[in-house]
């Protein structure tokens, strides 16, 4: 798995080297993408300087930094010590015109569209070919109902997006959040800088609910007032406005989704890993992936800020609703062939609209490895089996790539196409997986 010619890696294909011993140790997990991008947004609108420690430096977070700079925010990065300094605009965006490129970063696209509506001027937002297929309609309709001109240039509800705004008026609005919770999170983070209080209603299902909880908790940690009411499945959020906050020092947790790959590696190979910086009080809902592994038979121990996962000799298949932790669907699918019974993953239809159709992509590549997989409108079923080596596609999707690499730990001959796509969230993933896969050093 080494990223050099000696290990057989080219620009296009990476042979995954099987591990012939249990994986043990403490993986070095980068900062959370979700927390980094939310912290950048909060710091951008604060008064004065904010210093973010433990920040993730990856494609998605650097796109967020670039977008904020395009909006006139001064941002200084220091990759060597994983820190970012943001000079906040005190709720008033400096730029009146900007052309913003978001690549295939859905978080950046949705957050920045909402945040730009606070400004005064004309802003355009565009992305990669795949981003031009990812829906923005619910957010655009919500902004339009509030008096902001925000529209899909092609009329497809997808980027390119044109935003013409004289500021966010406030008022009451309804937003659909069954496809992406990012529509709601973006509106929540923009709301304090509206001209008057904003009330947001979500009448139906809310996908990936822990990410909204993360947004609210971070806003409150930074001193912003947010109020939530629930009635059945309906939710209502009230954000008083205008509000201003002071810049601050803020430490970013390790990325729980990135940690899931090493938890899975320990389960697949019968080892044990310790994840420092994650515990039950984590902001990130994806720490609950460890509970899924416990249900499958793995050993799981939560200390205050250390999560330990230990593999098992008898891995059980599970039937699990993964809506709240849908970024770990592919991780579980990679483990499932090694269980003693089928694994059914439910209620994740929305991941068809991610970097790729993750349900079909995962099923297609596991079948390419000789495994039996059934797809359903809301998920998939993976049956026990013995994978065979084969070249597999990654669909330029970092989570597909990292998950399929796990199968290669037990299966010789897995060849990963376009491995560099992991730079979206975890540039050093293969080096770190190799480090933990190396044989133990004899003393």
CA torsion sign for 87, 93, 96, 98 is positive
- Residue 281 structure tokens: 């009080």
What pLDDT is stored for residue 204 in this prediction? 84
Give the H or E element holding residue 107: helix 106-116
pLDDT band at 440 (very low <50, low <70, confident <90, very high): low
Instruction: For 339-359, give one letter per residue: b (16+ CB within 10 A) or e.
Output: beebbbbeebbbbebbbbbbb
CB 65 within 8 A of CB 84: yes
CA torsion sign for 75, 187, 252, 326 is negative
CB 390 within 8 A of CB 416: no
Per residue in 401-415, pLDDT (tens digit) is 999 999 999 999 999
CB 390 within 8 A of CB 368: yes
The rounded distance, in Å, linking the Cα atoms of 158 and 129 is 11
Per residue in 287-306, pLDDT (tens digit) is 999 999 999 999 999 988 89
User: Which are the catalytic amino acids?
Assistant: 327
Per residue in 247-259, pLDDT (tens digit) is 999 999 999 999 9
What pLDDT is stored for residue 303 in this prediction? 87
pLDDT band at 1 (very low <50, low <70, confident <90, very high): very low
The rounded distance, in Å, linking the Cα atoms of 223 and 218 is 9
Question: Is the N-terminal amide bond of 242 cis, ω within 30° of 0?
Answer: yes
Which are the contacts of 10, defined by CB distance < 8 A and separation ≥ 6? none
Which are the contacts of 134, defined by CB distance < 8 A and separation ≥ 6? 104, 106, 109, 127, 158, 159, 353, 354
Which one-letter DSSP state was computed for residue 4? Answer: S
Hunting for tokens 């939530």 — which residue is that? 228
Q: Report the first-to-last Cα separation within the chain, whole angstroms.
A: 25
Is the pLDDT at 9 greater than 90, yes or no? no
Give the H or E element holding residue 190: helix 182-190
Q: Rounded to two decimals, what is the model's pTM? A: 0.92
Is the pLDDT at 129 greater than 80, yes or no? yes
């Amino acid at each position: 798995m080494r990223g050099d010619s000696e290990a057989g890696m080219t620009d296009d294909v990476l042979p995954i080297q099987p591990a012939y011993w249990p994986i043990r140790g403490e993986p070095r997990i980068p900062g959370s993408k979700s927390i980094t991008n939310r912290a950048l947004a909060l710091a951008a609108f604060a008064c004065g300087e904010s210093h973010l420690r433990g920040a993730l430096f990856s494609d998605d977070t650097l796109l967020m930094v670039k977008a904020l700079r395009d909006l006139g925010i001064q941002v200084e990065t220091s990759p060597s010590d994983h820190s970012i300094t943001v000079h906040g605009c005190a709720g008033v965006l400096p730029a009146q015109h900007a052309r913003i490129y978001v690549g295939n970063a859905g978080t950046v696209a949705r957050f920045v569209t909402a945040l730009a509506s606070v400004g005064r001027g004309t802003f355009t937002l565009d992305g990669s070919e795949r981003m031009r297929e990812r829906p923005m309609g619910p957010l655009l309709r919500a902004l339009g109902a509030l008096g902001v001109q925000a529209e899909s240039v092609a009329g497809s509800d997808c980027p390119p997006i044109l935003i013409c705004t004289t500021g966010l008026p406030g008022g009451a609005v309804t937003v659909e959040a069954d496809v992406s919770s990012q529509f709601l999170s973006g509106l929540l983070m923009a709301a304090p800088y509206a001209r008057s209080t904003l009330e947001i209603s979500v009448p139906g299902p809310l996908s990936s609910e822990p990410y909204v909880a993360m947004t609210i908790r971070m806003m409150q940690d930074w001193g912003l007032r947010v109020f939530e009411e629930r009635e059945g499945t309906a939710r209502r959020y009230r954000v008083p406005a205008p509000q201003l906050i002071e810049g601050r020092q803020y430490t970013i947790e390790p990325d729980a989704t990135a940690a899931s790959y090493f938890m899975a590696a320990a389960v697949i190979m019968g080892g044990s890993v310790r994840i420092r910086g994650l515990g039950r009080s984590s902001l990130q809902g994806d720490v609950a992936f460890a509970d899924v592994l416990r249900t499958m038979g793995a050993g799981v121990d939560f200390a205050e800020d250390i999560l330990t996962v230990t593999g098992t000799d008898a891995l059980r298949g599970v039937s699990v609703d993964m809506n709240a932790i849908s970024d770990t669907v592919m991780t579980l699918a990679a483990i499932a062939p090694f269980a003693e019974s089928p694994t059914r993953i439910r209620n994740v239809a929305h991941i068809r609209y991610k970097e790729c159709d993750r349900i079909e992509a995962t099923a297609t590549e596991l079948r390419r490895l000789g495994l039996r997989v059934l797809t359903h409108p809301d998920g998939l079923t993976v049956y026990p089996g013995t994978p065979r080596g084969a070249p597999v596609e990654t669909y330029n999707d970092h989570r597909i790539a990292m998950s399929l690499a796990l199968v290669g730990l037990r299966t010789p001959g897995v060849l990963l196409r376009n491995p560099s796509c992991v730079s979206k969230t975890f540039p050093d993933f293969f080096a770190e997986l190799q480090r933990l896969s190396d044989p133990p050093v004899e003393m």
